[in-house]
């Protein structure tokens, strides 16, 4: 596997000394992800890691049944869904907080641990909803480069945990690289450091993990440790449009998250989430179609001798050897929308797994762009 030039990484940001990079407000805000428009003018949209196969027949039936309840506030349904999730996860309902997509929960946690300043330690590139919001509210972000294999650098993060550290953020599997941490090493890290600082583990892509029996860090929450986990219904369940997710934490932290929420989801999201959890057929179908999409992408990349990272998500991160802006324009010409830039890996591209037909369109475009 080719090595990443770390000097290139360090030159893109202002160094805070050996190890981590302390980002300025302008740097972190400039790299914040943007919410893309819902329409793409007929283009194949493979840029947002969505599940294009939803809604399933059971969800369509549930949508029709929701009509009489649309005039009612959804408050009473939150506890019902939290109880269902808690039973499924082997937790107490007080340890589950339903949110408006995982993004609302991420921002609520970012607010909790940044309102009084301090630092959040993470790796970059990663999903920025929490750390960008925390930085905006007053935290400093101490960012450690990924490993040479483009995975989360736990030893590097550990070296940067100081008295000023308010939280550690880990995305596993990571977005945009799709890489997965060794579960034993992650558990050891969480056990050790959560005794002094909360450790947030973003598991929104957990369902796509290909490593059989890979453990969630939720077992640490059952033990009362200061570990926070994010999950979502936006990916494998295909409910990105109704905005529903959930946070898992010990009762003390979960209560604080609940009190920090800014909006909450809607009755359609709550009821569709309940339906989705019962729809095992669609869940398994989504996973298999994702595997099929990745196989098609891997095969095309292998044919063109383009390096990529085996993915534990619904996207693939591959090295183009060209600036991402140029690559985006080239794919747009071919009718395909690909992922945004992820500094410092500006010669890499993230491509989501759409429908089989959409992936085949991408493969055809890929062969033209890299002919």
The domain locations on the chain are 58-278
**pLDDT at 4 > cutoff 90:** no
Q: Cα–Cα distance between 149 and 1 in angstroms, integer?
A: 7
| Helix (H/G/I), strand (E/B), else coil: 119 | strand
**pLDDT at 14 > cutoff 50:** no
pLDDT for residue 106: 96
Lowest mean pLDDT among 1-10, 134-143, 341-350: 1-10
Name the pTM for this structure.
Answer: 0.89
For 29-66, the pLDDT digits (tens) are 444 444 343 445 689 999 999 999 999 999 999 999 99
E-strand stretches of the chain: 21-23, 44-45, 96-99, 119-124, 140-145, 165-171, 199-202, 227-232, 245-248, 315-319, 336-337, 348-352
Question: Residues 308-335: what's their mean pLDDT?
Answer: 98
- Helices first, then strands: H and E counts in the chain: 14, 12
For 289-303, the pLDDT digits (tens) are 999 999 999 999 999
Contacts of 336 (CB under 8 A, 6+ apart): 43, 44, 46, 361, 362, 365
Q: Categorize the per-residue pLDDT at 186 as very low, low, confident or very high, splitting at 50, 70 and 90.
A: very high
Q: How many CB atoms lie within 10 A of CB 200?
A: 27
For the record, the structure tokens of 278 come out as 């019962």
For 241-285, the pLDDT digits (tens) are 999 999 999 999 999 999 999 888 999 999 999 999 999 999 999
For 95-125, the pLDDT digits (tens) are 999 999 999 999 999 999 998 889 999 999 9
- The residues facing 200 across adjacent strands are 169, 228
| Helix (H/G/I), strand (E/B), else coil: 277 | helix
- Is residue 347 a contact partner of residue 321, using CB atoms and an 8 Å limit? yes
Fold of 58-278: 3.40.640
- Is residue 350 a contact partner of residue 125, using CB atoms and an 8 Å limit? no
Q: Categorize the per-residue pLDDT at 339 as very low, low, confident or very high, splitting at 50, 70 and 90.
A: very high
pLDDT for residue 115: 83
Q: What is the CA radius of gyration of the chain?
A: 20
For 206-242, the pLDDT digits (tens) are 999 999 999 999 999 999 999 999 999 999 999 999 9
Contacts of 165 (CB under 8 A, 6+ apart): 118, 119, 120, 121, 142, 197
For 149-173, the pLDDT digits (tens) are 999 999 999 999 999 999 999 999 9
Q: Cα–Cα distance between 339 and 327 in angstroms, integer?
A: 10
């Amino acid at each position: 596997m080719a090595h990443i030039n770390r000097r290139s990484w360090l030159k893109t940001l202002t160094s805070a000394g050996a190890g981590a990079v302390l980002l300025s407000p302008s740097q972190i805000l400039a790299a914040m992800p943007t919410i893309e428009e819902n329409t793409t003018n007929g283009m194949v949209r493979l840029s947002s890691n969505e599940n294009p196969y939803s809604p399933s027949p059971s969800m369509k039936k549930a949508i029709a049944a929701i009509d009489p309840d649309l005039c009612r506030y959804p408050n009473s349904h939150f506890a019902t869904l939290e109880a269902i999730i808690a039973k499924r996860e082997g937790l107490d309902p007080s340890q589950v907080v339903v949110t408006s997509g995982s993004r609302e929960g991420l921002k609520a946690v970012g607010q909790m641990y940044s309102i009084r300043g301090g630092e959040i330690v993470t790796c970059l590139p990663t999903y920025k909803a929490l750390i960008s919001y925390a930085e905006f509210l007053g935290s400093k972000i101490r960012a450690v480069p990924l490993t040479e294999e483009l995975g989360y650098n736990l030893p590097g993060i550990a070296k940067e945990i100081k008295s000023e550290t308010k939280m550690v953020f880990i995305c596993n599997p990571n977005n945009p690289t799709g890489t997965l941490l060794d579960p034993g090493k992650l558990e050891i890290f969480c056990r050790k450091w959560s005794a002094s600082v909360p450790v947030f583990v973003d598991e929104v892509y957990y369902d796509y993990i290909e490593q059989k029996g890979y453990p969630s860090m939720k077992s640490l929450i059952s033990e009362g440790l200061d570990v926070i986990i994010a999950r979502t219904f936006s990916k494998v369940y295909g409910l990105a449009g109704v905005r529903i997710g959930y946070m898992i934490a010990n009762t003390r932290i979960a209560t604080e998250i609940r009190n920090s929420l800014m909006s909450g989801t809607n009755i359609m999201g709550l009821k569709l989430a309940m339906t989705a959890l019962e729809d095992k057929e669609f869940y398994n179908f989504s996973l298999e179609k994702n595997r099929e999409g990745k196989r098609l992408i891997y095969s095309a990349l292998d044919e063109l001798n383009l390096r990529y990272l085996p993915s534990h998500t619904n996207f693939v991160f591959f090295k183009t050897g060209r600036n991402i802006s140029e690559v985006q324009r080239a794919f747009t010409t071919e009718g395909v929308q690909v992922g945004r830039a992820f500094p410092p890996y500006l010669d890499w591209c993230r491509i989501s797994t759409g429908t089989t037909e959409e992936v085949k369109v991408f493969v055809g475009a890929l062969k033209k762009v890299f002919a």
